[in-house]
């Protein structure tokens, strides 16, 4: 399972294929939607309603929407809040944790909760809280099984309904952070080169050439991995586009990887790396992606916000060139 923040397009919308997945996930939990009252008709949840609901969540300071994938499939969504409006409440909150109904009773909820707790613990938090609506006995039993204890009763902020407040103490333990590097190679037209990778837990996904670091700095990792996977010895990583932290489980163990994403310019061509075409290998294919194709990607991208990141880089570059040319 891999856990990442909700990606958005350069226009700050949810990519259409992802919104379709999210709508199906929300709609699959019909009983919860009927109880929560978050949608007008729990039997007819529409993409624009899900998009609006998530936009409202993200409008709250300190809120984060995280998506969980397993074997390439979106299996869960979780919404966290790094602080409660009550200044006397020191804990972050889990506002929602929902697993696709067809994927329940497979351990996804437990793994997702563990990743969220690890994420909060690594940020230095000593506890986490959540509220369960009265009448949601399955949710109360689930959280109790994970060690959450009832500490009081209250009313939910959205609809002023009675609920039980639960809390779990977290051990603040620094998480080991694995490092890696990837390279966004852009052709003269601005298309970016991606490999399609296989992954037993995350499933097939498209990602920039790269991989884990050895005993070297991130830029050296980027050079080594780019040449090993593509065979291109004339492409040099340029400026750092971003660093990307992503949480995931490997054989049930929560882990975090920090990858340095570099930019590079190169001619459009085919890769010639030795890993291509190997039976049972990790690389399944490759493609030069236009900006429009990135926004409508039918499979997960790593990093998920690649379309927005590249659009921001292009805009900043064009702005710099305009300034240098004396335009205003």
pLDDT digits (tens, 9 = 90+) for 120-137: 988 889 999 999 999 999
For residues 12-24, give the mean pLDDT. Answer: 94
What are the C-alpha distances in Å from 137 to residues 144, 153, 286? Answer: 11, 15, 47
Query: Exposed e or buried b for every residue in 245-278, given b needs 16+ CB within 10 A?
Result: ebbbbeeeebbbbebbbbbbebeeeebebeebee
Of 169, 200, 219, the residue at which a domain comes to its end is: 169
Asked if residue 324 belongs to a domain, the reply is no
Asked if residue 327 belongs to a domain, the reply is no
pLDDT over 80 at 174, yes or no: no
Say what the pTM is. Answer: 0.75
User: Do 164 and 70 belong together in one domain?
Assistant: yes
Of 142, 169, 196, the residue at which a domain comes to its end is: 169
Phi and psi, residue 273, nearest 5°? -65, 150
Report the distance separating Cα 162 and Cα 152, nearest Å.
11
User: Do 201 and 245 belong together in one domain?
Assistant: yes
User: Do 73 and 189 belong together in one domain?
Assistant: no
User: Do 281 and 264 belong together in one domain?
Assistant: yes
Report the distance separating Cα 252 and Cα 271, nearest Å.
34
User: Do 239 and 301 belong together in one domain?
Assistant: yes
Q: Domain count for the chain, please give it.
A: 2
Asked if residue 325 belongs to a domain, the reply is no
- What pLDDT score was predicted for residue 14? 94
Asked if residue 121 belongs to a domain, the reply is yes
Of 169, 192, 214, the residue at which a domain comes to its end is: 169
Asked if residue 326 belongs to a domain, the reply is no
Q: Which of 73, 49, 53 is nearest to 63 (CA)?
A: 53
For residues 128-149, give the mean pLDDT. Answer: 96
pLDDT band of residue 230 (cuts 50, 70, 90) is very high
Give kind and range of the element (H or E) at residue 316: helix 306-324
Mean of the per-residue pLDDT values of the chain: 89
User: Do 140 and 71 belong together in one domain?
Assistant: yes
CATH number of the domain residue 254 falls in: 3.90.79.10
User: Do 65 and 86 belong together in one domain?
Assistant: yes
Report the distance separating Cα 195 and Cα 223, nearest Å.
16
User: Do 130 and 228 belong together in one domain?
Assistant: no
Asked if residue 328 belongs to a domain, the reply is no
User: Do 77 and 152 belong together in one domain?
Assistant: yes
User: Do 236 and 143 belong together in one domain?
Assistant: no
**For 55-91, how does the pLDDT look when each residue is reduced to its tens digit (9 = 90+)?**
999 999 999 999 999 887 999 999 999 988 777 888 9
User: Do 21 and 96 belong together in one domain?
Assistant: yes
CATH number of the domain residue 36 falls in: 3.40.630.30
Asked if residue 122 belongs to a domain, the reply is yes
For residues 248-262, give the mean pLDDT. Answer: 80
User: Do 134 and 254 belong together in one domain?
Assistant: no
Residue 54 structural domain: 2-169
Q: How many CB atoms lie under 10 A from the CB of residue 34?
A: 13
pLDDT over 80 at 95, yes or no: yes
Residue 205 and residue 248 in contact, taking contact as beta carbons nearer than 8 Å: no
For residues 1-19, give the mean pLDDT. Answer: 90
Asked if residue 323 belongs to a domain, the reply is no
């Amino acid at each position: 399972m891999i856990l990442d923040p909700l990606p958005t397009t350069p226009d700050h919308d949810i990519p259409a294929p992802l919104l379709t997945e999210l709508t199906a996930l929300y709609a699959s939990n019909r009983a919860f939607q009927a109880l929560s009252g978050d949608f007008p008709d729990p039997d007819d949840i529409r993409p624009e309603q899900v998009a609006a609901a998530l936009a409202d969540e993200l409008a709250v300071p300190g809120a984060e929407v995280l998506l969980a994938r397993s074997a390439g499939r979106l299996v869960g969504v979780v919404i966290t809040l790094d602080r409660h409006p009550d200044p006397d409440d020191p804990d972050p909150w889990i506002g929602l944790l929902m697993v696709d109904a067809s994927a329940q009773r497979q351990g996804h909820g437990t793994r997702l909760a563990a990743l969220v707790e690890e994420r909060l613990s690594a940020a230095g938090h000593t506890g986490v809280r959540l509220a369960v609506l009265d009448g949601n006995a399955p949710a109360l039993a689930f959280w109790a099984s994970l060690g959450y204890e009832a500490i009081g009763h209250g009313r939910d902020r959205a609809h002023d309904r009675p609920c039980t407040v639960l809390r779990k103490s977290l051990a603040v333990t620094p998480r080991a952070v694995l490092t890696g590097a990837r390279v966004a190679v852009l052709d003269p037209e601005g298309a970016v080169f991606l490999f399609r990778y296989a992954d037993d837990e995350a499933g097939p996904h498209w990602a920039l050439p790269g991989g884990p670091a050895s005993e070297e700095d991130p830029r050296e990792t980027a050079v080594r991995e780019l040449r090993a996977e593509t065979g291109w010895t004339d492409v040099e990583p340029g400026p750092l586009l971003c660093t990307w932290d992503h949480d995931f489980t490997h054989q049930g163990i929560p882990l975090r990887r920090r990858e340095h994403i570099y930019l590079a310019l190169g001619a459009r061509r085919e890769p010639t790396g030795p890993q291509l075409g190997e039976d049972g290998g990790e690389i399944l294919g490759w493609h030069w992606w236009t900006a429009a194709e990135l926004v409508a990607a039918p499979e997960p991208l790593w990093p998920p916000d690649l379309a927005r990141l590249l659009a921001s880089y292009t805009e900043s570059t064009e702005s710099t060139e305009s300034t240098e040319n004396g335009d205003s």
